[in-house]
Structure 1
């Protein structure tokens, strides 16, 4: 497994913006991950990522500079309307 291999799962508007339900990438932090994904998928996903919540292995992550676990899963959850 490559260093910092991360499975990214997209939900709702993030899935539509990325054009895929999931992918595997290499990133050491959420900051690095969001930049990589924005570069790969374009402005539409970039806008979603700015407002999204992130779950790392099922736990909410707010600090985008904290290291990601090798082999971990990051769920990208855009804001949901309607409560």
Structure 2
């Protein structure tokens, strides 16, 4: 079962490709946030502006489903995958 901290929920964040590099090589971590917008702020504060720039262009999967509304509430215990834009074709 997931847990919450104040008005925020604890999430598992997984980084892929350039997002992992921008987060200092971290592949996954737990973070408390209430929305993707809040998550982006927490992660930028934690890892720096390099990751913040990646997050501006990234796609997010919440429990495996694409999430485009950065203000939507996140479910307790969700897994958020951060996918930076991929080059190539």
Aligned residues: 83
1:17 lines up with 2:57 in the alignment: no
Q: TM-score, normalised by structure 1?
A: 0.97
Name segments (4+ residues, structure 1) moved above 2 Å.
none
Residue of structure 2 aligned with 1:42, choices 20, 29, 48: 48
What SS is found at the alignment partner of 2:52? helix
Structure 2 equivalent of residue 70 of structure 1: 76
Q: How high is the TM-score relative to the length of structure 2?
A: 0.90
Paired position in structure 2 for 1:2: 3
CA offsets, 1:18-74, max 9 Å, x none?
A: 020000010110000000000100011000000000000000000001000100000
Is 1:30 aligned to residue 36 of structure 2? yes
1:2 shift after superposition: 3.5
Q: Which residue of 2 aligns with 1:53?
A: 59
- Show structure 2 runs of 5+ residues with no match: none
